[in-house]
A and B are shown apart, each in its own frame.
Chain A
Amino acid sequence: MEKLKALGLASLAACVLAACGGNGSAGADVDNSGARGSLIQAPPLRTASLTAADLSARLQSTTSGQQLLAVTGAPTCGVDVHYIQYGTVGGAGEQTTASGVLMVPTGATAPCTGPRPIVLYAHGTATDRGYNLAAIADTTNAASTESALLAAMFAAQGYIVVAPNYAGYDSSPLPYHPFLNADQQSKEMIDALTAARRAIGHVFAAGTTDNGKLFVSGYSEGGHVAMATVRALQGLGTTVTASAPLSGPYAMEAFGDAIMFGSVNIGSTVFVPLITTSYQKAYGNLYNATTDLYSVTYATGIETLLPSTTSLTDLFAQNKLPQTALFSSTTPATGNGALDAALAVPANPLFATGFGASNLIVNGVRVAYALDALASPDGAVPTPQAGVPLATTPQYPLRVALKRNDLRGGPWAPTAPMLLCGGNADPTVFFSVNAGTMQAFWAALPAGLVTVLDVDSAPTGAGDPFAAAKVGFAQAKAATFAAGGQTAVVQAYHGSLVPPFCAASARGFFSQF
């Protein structure tokens, strides 16, 4: 759920500009109506064009690039990066536009031209409003790292990549981001895919076409989006070849319960305003005034705080957000001993950092939420029940909203192979609460339909198809520990350590189909 930071890729910087030159008549595919899936510019701007050799050379020129190459392997194809803009909807169904990236493999060899599969990818949480995956060569853009990962991992290996920047980012006029809104974000993914398919064929690499295979993936926030998109595509009757949601908060209700009862995740003071604003815009009933939810210190302007053009560091320095104190260290005293104990500062020091004197969320929210959870418990927390069912009758609006976006909802199950990848010690998106809950929820599915991969585990043997990812992760984790100790590991775990290895696992998984 956190933006990818690792693998810097300063090198790609130099590339920029570049571009495309659309071939053929694109006019028929240009649509400024703003309708869902409309392609606003055709051919779309090519923001970078790199041969396989140039991409490799640029990655090799930096340490982070070398690390990325070690995971992705040498580029086989060149990559043309295009900036797409499309019509979509906001969280309340309002018409809007957004932007994203279309990466097209180039080159004369077979894996790089002709009919190619599409990877539809959803990025992780970004706090920078200018987040733009098409700005691959601009290392000042917060998206350049994740963009380089997509280029090296997928496009340079022959996959067409489509990835939205999301409504509320970059050129999108939407004044907020529908964060973890399963309905909106799955619609937007489908809209970006529709627009990108209209663009393919009009770009410089016109010889590269869609072969009909569709893979869906995404990391962190994007893991949730990817899974929601698979559900939505299935609902539309669209075939998904395979999917790989990575480190995502799929079981939103269970995850919310865990956090509200004190298992505060790293980054929660950023995620919570994004979630609550998103759901308030969509459903309108989370609060009457922001002070219903937030401490007065932070309530003013909180709805327009994120995503922001101001860095998180500055937002913390300006006291717009607390760095870690989601909840008050003076926990609720309701007179209900059991409840008060459940809401006390936890012994786990990692969770305890989520408590402080200058907290974001008022105690009343915790109490109301906890009472709702006790009255209508989630089947996954605190102890998984058979079938890990959702709460039957939640009443508290925030919890109702979380249930609405919990991907157990439907209920449904994937009909095409799905890989759920993550790391079991993820301090940001808890693996067991999310991937574990979905695994339990789908336990009765035929074997092989849902595969759960914990990259932070030992290979199961010589036949373990994910052995390389597990070993690579262990090495990266050890190197991080050697450089900065356990604190560095915790800080890097979700944002830097896991992403490349889960992405590589996803690629390997997709290559079977």
Chain B
Amino acid sequence: MKPTLVSFVAASACLSFAAPAVAQDNTVRAGIYIVRYHAKADDISGPFTQPGLNLDLKNVNTAYFAYIRRLSSGFDLELAAGWPPKTETIGKGPATVGSVPYDGQTIATAKWFSPTVLLNYKFLPESSPVRPYVGVGINYTHFYDRTSTAAGNAASGGPTTISLSDSIGPAGTIGVFYRLQGNWSLDGSFSMAKVKSDLEANTSGVIRKTTINFNPSTWVISVGYSF
């Protein structure tokens, strides 16, 4: 459930344009965030809880936005975030809990706001139209609008409220910057971040818990404008 950032787009049309005469310090980007989760969670624990109940997450795509500040010819500082998407939590484990369907059911939804700050190092001279880069940074993820679905309520045993703790963790990226004409550029990147959250579900006063490692990997394709 986590976003990351950064640039590249690769090959697309491969137009080659001359580098601007003067390096520009600010760049904004917009594009698409393709988030793929590789979630690993502890089995849900708590009273009246069947062994083996686990969770998974549905992948999401959302809008990507970033601001990049040039620090030097080799280094950029990037602040990236996705438009908060609604992520669906899926039941994973036994087909049913009692007679209530569980495995594969959408049992909860949540939105997250997940900005990431990255220090990127770009290879090749600044005049080069294509510049691969790598970056490291920190991700912060905050969850909100957490909702247990009807299927989730049925599996949990009643109307359920869900809390998810905020996450702060390292992030890393690799990408390629491609200069287009004028101030425009394309960017493509692949990023990963550590996003870990403690989930607590309250059903009629009965508390059940698990810890989820979201392990998101993120592909971004974006268009940038420098000024």
* Residues on A facing B (Cβ under 8 Å): 14-22, 40-51, 54, 78, 83, 85, 134-135, 137-138, 204
Contacts and interface: CB of A to CB of B under 8 A. Distances in A.
A45 B97 contact: no
A52 to B, nearest CB: 9
B97 A15 contact: yes
A45 B204 contact: yes
B104 to A, nearest CB: 16
20 contacts: A15-B99, A16-B49, A17-B100, A17-B102, A19-B100, A19-B158, A21-B150, A21-B153, A21-B157, A40-B205, A41-B204, A43-B159, A44-B204, A45-B204, A49-B97, A54-B99, A85-B205, A135-B48, A137-B48, A138-B48
B204 A18 contact: no
B73 interface: no
Report the 4 A-B pairs with minimum CB-CB distance, sorted nearest first: A19-B157, A16-B50, A18-B98, A15-B98
B9 to A, nearest CB: 46
Contact of A22 (B100, B102, B159): B159
B199 interface: no
Contacts of A204: 154
B97 A16 contact: yes
Which has the most chain B C-beta neighbours within 10 Å: A15, A46, A83, A134? A46
Contacts of A15: 50, 97-99
Nearest to A21: B153
- Main secondary structure on chain A at its contact with chain B? loop
B152 to A, nearest CB: 9
Nearest to A80: B98
Contacts of A22: 158-159, 204
Contacts of B50: 14-17, 137
A16 B98 CA distance: 6
Contacts of B204: 22, 41-45, 83
Nearest to B102: A17
Interface of B: 48-50, 53, 94, 96-100, 102, 150, 153-159, 203-206
Contact of B98 (A41, A43, A49): A49
Given A20-B158, A50-B98, A51-B99, A83 B49 contact: no
A83 B156 CA distance: 12
Given A42-B204, A45-B158, A83-B157, 10 more contacts: A16-B50, A17-B48, A17-B53, A19-B97, A19-B154, A45-B48, A45-B157, A45-B206, A46-B157, A49-B98
A45 B48 CA distance: 9
A18 B100 contact: yes
A54 B97 CA distance: 11
Contacts of B100: 17-19, 49
A47 B205 contact: no
B158 A44 contact: yes
B94 to A, nearest CB: 7
A190 B128 CA distance: 84
Contacts of B150: 21
Nearest to A44: B204
Contact of B156 (A17, A44, A78): A17
Given A43-B204, A137-B98, A49 B154 contact: yes
A135 B98 CA distance: 12
A14 B53 CA distance: 11
A135 B157 CA distance: 13
B138 to A, nearest CB: 37
Contacts of A20: 153-154, 157-158
A436 to B, nearest CB: 42
Nearest to B208: A17
